[in-house]
Amino acid sequence: MTETRKCKVLVVGAGPGGYVAAIRSAQLGLDTVIVEGDKAGGTCLIRGCIPSKAIIHAAERFESLQQHASEGGHMGLSVASEPEIDMAALVGWKDAIVERLNKGVEALMKGAGAELIKGWATFTGPKKCTVETSSGTVNIEAENVIIATGSSHIDLPFMPCDEEFVLSSTGALDLQKLPKSAAIVGGGYIGLELGCALTKLGTEVTVVEGMDSILGIMDKEIRRPLEIWLKKHKVAVHTNALARGTEIKGKGASRKAHLTFEKDGEEQTIKVDKVLVTVGRSPNTKGWGLENMGVRMDTGGRFIRIDRQCRTNVPGVYAIGDVAGEPMLAHKASSQGEMVAEIIAGHNRDYDKVAIPAIVFT
């Protein structure tokens, strides 16, 4: 069955930018359709911010229990036996949180009056797309389009993620068994947040970073407390070290990932249970017909070019969130989504990324 739908606002992608844009547009009385091919909530809710913070919170609780167990009644608090961690149960708890919030996002959009169409959108023109859904095809024509397609984990071509020994951040959030040892390739906030959580849970962690310091985009005054914490907790940190590849060696339960990296002109190899690759994210600009929209890219060709109001060069077409440039942060996308909805409704708004805060949950 084929259906044709016309609307005032079409939002593509129901992540933290897209669903906020859809909710605000509908609240302002604009006929709004939002298309999502996966689950509402995007990377932040499904496989990023929310699940990682759940695991980080559990790791902090576990570390606190261990401390009370070792202190033997300090502050009048005692733990009868050595605390244990059940990773499968922890992941199940995390998944339940994600599922509940996913349903909450869908309910918020419905309550505001935005129509959610589940399927993959393919653009045939600047403001026309085809969506393949489970019940048929929907052709959509919109007066205004908000592109909020997000970003994806970057795979290293010489070290692809198999999600068994070499993990993406997504795979790291679904571990069913706590590894005894792990190497983090990439010393940015994603790798360090997960690396610190694993350390608190009892994993021996090594960080391999190509730049001359971890958290390279942060001021040294911000980095210093974390560097002290990592040293105190015996986390090995190799900076100016370039990962070269991983080999899986051994048989059965003794199989290990052998990570090779180059530092000071010499190659070193470490054996670990898991390698976590966190070298950044890439905007989702392929596979949905962006090339048919006439939208210009930035000078590097990675991101959609926008102005202070998230307008592209095509009138009535906007881009928000990760697909429109750094910083790739969920709350930035939400701020832009709300702003664009209000601009379409005739309000006077603009955006300055200097006003967007950032934090590292280590």
Is 57 inside any structural domain?
Answer: no
Would you state the pLDDT for residue 218? 87
Amino acid (one-letter) located at 33: V
- Domain boundary at 279, 302, 330, which? 279
Are 13 and 126 found together in one domain?
yes
Are 12 and 127 found together in one domain?
yes
Q: Could you state, in chain order, the average pLDDT of each consecutive group of 10 residues for the chain (362 residues)?
A: 94 98 99 97 94 96 83 68 90 97 98 97 97 94 98 93 95 96 96 96 97 90 94 96 95 92 95 96 96 94 96 98 96 97 95 84 84
Is 141 inside any structural domain?
Answer: yes
Report the number of distinct structural domains present in the chain: 2
Q: What's the pTM value of the predicted model, to 2 decimals? A: 0.93
Other Cβ atoms within 10 Å of 70 Cβ, number: 10
Are 144 and 30 found together in one domain?
yes
- Domain boundary at 236, 259, 279, which? 279
Would you state the pLDDT for residue 192? 96
- Domain boundary at 279, 296, 330, which? 279
CATH of the domain at 11: 3.50.50.60
Per-position DSSP letters for 15-75, written without gaps between them: STTHHHHHHHHHHTT--EEEEESS-TTHHHHHHSHHHHHHHHHHHHHHHHHHHHHHHTSGG
pLDDT digits (tens, 9 = 90+) for 220-239: 998 999 999 999 999 999 99
Are 144 and 22 found together in one domain?
yes
Is 58 inside any structural domain?
Answer: no
Would you state the pLDDT for residue 300? 87
Q: Give pairs for 311-314: CB < 8 Å, separation 24+.
A: 312/147, 314/126
Contact 274, 179 (CB under 8 A): yes
What 3-state DSSP class applies to 89?
A: helix
Q: Which domain holds residue 211?
A: 166-279
Distance CA 292, CA 130 (A): 12
Are 20 and 9 found together in one domain?
yes
Amino acid (one-letter) located at 196: C
Distance CA 250, CA 248 (A): 7
Is 72 inside any structural domain?
Answer: no
DSSP percent split of the chain into helix, strand, coil, nearest 5: 35, 30, 35
